[in-house]
Amino acid sequence: MDTQRSGDVIVVGGGVVGLATAVVLAERGRRVRVWTRDPVERTTSAVAGALWWPYHIEPIASARTWALRSLEVYEELARWPETTGVRLVDGVMGETDPDDVEVWAVGRLAGLRRATTAEYAGGNAVRARLPLIDMAAYLPWLRERLRRAGGTVEERTVRDLAEADAPVVVNCTGLGARDLAADPSVRPVRGQLVVVENPGVRTWLVSTTPEGEMAYLFPQPGRLLLGGTAEDDVWSLEPDPAVAAAIVRRCAALRPEVAGARVLEHRVGLRPVRPAVRLEREVRPDGLVVVHHYGHGGAGVTVAWGCAEEAAGLAAPS
């Protein structure tokens, strides 16, 4: 072991996965420091629509386990929505046949049933009560929970995981793993959304047009999030006005009252997509333990807690 290393665990990456992992480790008694390039309010996670729903993530069996464990946590956190930012909200998932909802979800999701034509006129859809997370409140709450457990957060750009002066490093860097872990299989899927004044929408709605374009409406305190896009291998973080206008049109086709809603903000985020989540322990020749924990794509919020507990187990095996 490098004698220059001290302390316990450094988590590199201050998004939802990194913070959840740090919280789990700290609450298990480890000394934890989070190194994040950006303030948590400006990470990719801050842009997330943040509806709990398994979304394009592999390996499927592990993702189910992680998602269900995370659902348990969010249901508990929803007891204090004003503090945590987590609420349980009814909504409709379009283009989904109830008979195709996997068995693991049928017995677990509150109020899961076929949507009526009044609730969704576009065809098959399911209605359920799911966690919807206000990331503007949730990420600072996570950071504060970490601090209460004795952890710290430091804004720092990391160019090599070997910079860490700790015996264990957890790599939660998302797209940064392309360089930090020399992993070109991690790639961006660009998402853009429009934040508008809420004209009275109380339920969430997710739909896909016949052309394969997505539309979603997520009511958050004081605003409504309209989305979205999924552009493979696009790195631009600049909002595209034409894309924003198309998002509003698609959402207004579902809920006409949003057509004239005042735009508050445009957001763009890059989902860190990988063929499968990388969650594994590496012991380097100098004794440094690196737990790689990235590649969650658009499902980071959905699997964060279950995945964090598994990562924490790899960082501190019994």
Give the tens place of pLDDT for each residue, 78-93: 999 999 999 999 999 9
pLDDT band per the 50, 70, 90 thresholds, residue 103: low
**Assigned superfamily of 9-315:** NAD(P)-binding Rossmann-like Domain (3.40.50.720)
Residue 3 has pLDDT above 60, yes or no: no
pTM: 0.95
Please report the pLDDT score of residue 1 as a whole number. 40
Q: How does strand 187-196 pair with strand 263-283?
A: antiparallel
In 3D, which of 8, 1, 62, 33 has the Cα closest to residue 285? 1
User: Which residues, other chains included, contact 32 with Cβ-Cβ below 8 Å and sequence gap of 6+?
Assistant: 8, 9, 10, 11, 22, 25, 26, 146, 149, 150, 151, 152
Element (H, E) at 32: strand 32-36
Residue 6 has pLDDT above 60, yes or no: no
Beta strands in 167-213 (DSSP E): 168-171, 187-196, 204-208
Arithmetic mean of pLDDT, 98-119: 82
Residue 276 has pLDDT above 60, yes or no: yes
User: Which residues, other chains included, contact 100 with Cβ-Cβ below 8 Å and sequence gap of 6+?
Assistant: none
Token pair of 119, please?
């609730």
Please report the pLDDT score of residue 97 as a whole number. 84
Arithmetic mean of pLDDT, 3-28: 88
pLDDT digits (tens, 9 = 90+) for 30-65: 999 999 999 988 898 988 889 999 877 899 999 999
Half-sphere exposure of 57 toward its Cβ, with a 13 Å CA cutoff? 28
**Mean pLDDT of all residues in the chain?**
93
In 3D, which of 25, 44, 2 has the Cα closest to residue 170? 25
